């Protein structure tokens, strides 16, 4: 032996201290020798194991498998590899082991050399792999199902949206057509009322004619708003024709007309700055009328309603302020949406909830917008901003 070769443990020590179970049997399975770890697994002393056959340690299923499978293989091909066996230990507990074996022929006879490995960790690992695979397959199935359901929901949503759009477009067309067709008879009613009012009438007749005139004017305002709503909803927007006008004069005329329409209210017009602004005068009249009507409907009529027109640089502003109860904070977010009303008060003013929506659309058509502030202390103010082209007078 070379002096540089390390000294190895003796064969007996290697066999007995091996980290796996080692068993030597004769051809009929009688255990001739076993090592310490196999003895520990079985709970049987090495001496006692020498009095048993290896197949005596097998479970009933293991014995059948031994007779039909691995014992014939050992005889025919001389070895088996990774055969899983269940053995019973001294406590009648099942111990699962993995068997590798070879058949060796010696002058003294035939011997089976068996190496056995514990399966606890391997079984646990395999179970974890199987469980992980099952979880992955379940997640994949859920993901696939969710994607399919999402796709189906998207298709259904697209169809529902298309149908809703078609219905909305049809409804808006019907509103536009009906509103347009109603304008002519209402105009005729108003003209007939004006003609009748010119003659001598009793106070009762005059009062009735006044009610007819007010009702027809109210209906005309509603129709105008419905037509504007239909135009805005079909994407055409509210049409305007901009001309350079004296904004203060336009607003003053509107306020004077509104004083006649709302005699119960005290309207004040304040002017700041001077110059012309390119706006649609008729739309300005409509815008002021809607804001004042809103103030008359919801404000304190014991206090004045102040209309302010403001011109400075490239800015044109129009504000309408009234005292009275504050607008609930919960209503501020959708105040300018169509068919929205702050209160359910019954009033002779517009009742379809389009006034403030039309105000915002007119402001947008002029390249501006509208904002509102409302508190119990300072009252309610609507401020409309408009783009303006400054022209020297």
- Please tell me the predicted confidence (pLDDT) of residue 317: 92
* Angle (nearest 5°) at CA 77 between 72 and 82: 80
pLDDT more than 90, % of the chain: 32
Residue 31's pLDDT band, with cuts at 50, 70 and 90, is very high
Please, is 230 exposed, middle or buried when counting C-beta atoms within 10 Å of its C-beta (0-12, 13-18, 19+)?
buried
Contacts of 18 (CB under 8 A, 6+ apart): 35, 37
Q: Over the stretch 144-172, which tens digit does the pLDDT of each residue have?
A: 888 888 888 888 888 888 877 776 666 66
pLDDT exceeds cutoff 70 at 348: no
Q: Model-level pTM greater than 0.85?
A: no
Query: Domain locations in the chain?
Result: 11-118, 125-233, 243-387
Q: DSSP of 194-252, one letter per residue?
A: HHHHHS---HHHHHHHHHHHHHHHHHHHHHHHHHHHHHHHTT-------EEEEHHHHHH
- CATH of the domain spanning 11-118: 3.30.450.20
CATH 3.90.550.10 for the 243-387 domain, yes or no: no
pLDDT exceeds cutoff 90 at 313: no
Query: In angstroms, rounded to a whole number, what is the distance separating the alpha carbons of residues 253 and 236?
Result: 29
Residue 249's pLDDT band, with cuts at 50, 70 and 90, is very high
Mean pLDDT of the chain: 82
Architecture of domain 125-233: Orthogonal Bundle (1.10)
233-257: average pLDDT: 83
- Please tell me the predicted confidence (pLDDT) of residue 339: 63
Give the residue with greater pLDDT, 172 vs 378.
378
342-360: average pLDDT: 65
């Amino acid at each position: 032996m070379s002096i540089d070769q390390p000294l190895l443990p003796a064969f007996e020590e290697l066999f007995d201290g091996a980290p796996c179970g080692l068993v030597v049997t004769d051809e009929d399975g009688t255990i001739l020798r076993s090592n310490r770890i196999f003895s520990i697994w079985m709970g049987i002393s090495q001496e006692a194991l020498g009095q048993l056959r290896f197949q005596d340690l097998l479970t009933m299923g293991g014995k059948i498998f031994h007779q039909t499978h691995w014992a014939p293989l050992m005889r025919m091909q001389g070895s088996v590899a990774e055969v899983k066996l269940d053995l019973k230990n001294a406590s009648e507990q099942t111990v699962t082991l993995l068997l590798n074996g070879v058949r060796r022929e010696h002058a003294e006879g035939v011997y089976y050399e068996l190496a056995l490995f514990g399966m606890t960790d391997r079984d646990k690992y395999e179970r974890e792999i199987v469980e992980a695979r099952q979880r992955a397959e379940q997640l994949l199935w859920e993901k696939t199902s969710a994607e399919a359901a999402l796709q189906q929901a998207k298709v259904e949503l697209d169809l529902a949206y298309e149908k809703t759009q078609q219905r909305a477009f049809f409804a808006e067309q019907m509103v536009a057509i009906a509103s347009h067709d109603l304008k002519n008879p209402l105009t005729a009613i108003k003209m007939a009322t004006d003609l009748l009012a010119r003659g001598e009438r009793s106070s009762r007749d005059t009062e009735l004619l006044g009610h007819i005139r007010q009702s027809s004017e109210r209906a005309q305002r509603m129709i105008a708003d419905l037509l504007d709503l239909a135009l805005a909803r079909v994407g055409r927007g509210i049409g305007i024709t901009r001309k350079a006008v004296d904004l203060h004069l336009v607003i003053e005329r509107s306020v004077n007309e509104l004083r006649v329409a709302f005699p119960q209210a005290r309207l004040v017009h304040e002017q700041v700055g001077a110059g012309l602004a390119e706006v649609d005068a008729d739309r300005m009249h409509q815008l002021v009328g809607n804001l004042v009507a809103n103030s008359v409907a919801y404000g304190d009529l014991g206090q004045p309603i102040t209309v302010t027109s403001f011109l400075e640089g490239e800015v044109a502003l129009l504000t309408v302020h009234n005292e009275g109860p504050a607008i609930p904070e919960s209503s501020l977010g959708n105040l300018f949406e169509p068919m929205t009303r702050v209160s359910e008060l019954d009033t002779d003013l517009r009742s379809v909830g389009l006034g403030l929506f039309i105000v915002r659309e007119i402001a947008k058509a002029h390249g501006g917008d509208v904002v509102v502030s409302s508190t119990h202390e300072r009252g309610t103010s609507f401020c409309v901003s408009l783009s303006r082209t400054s022209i020297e007078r």
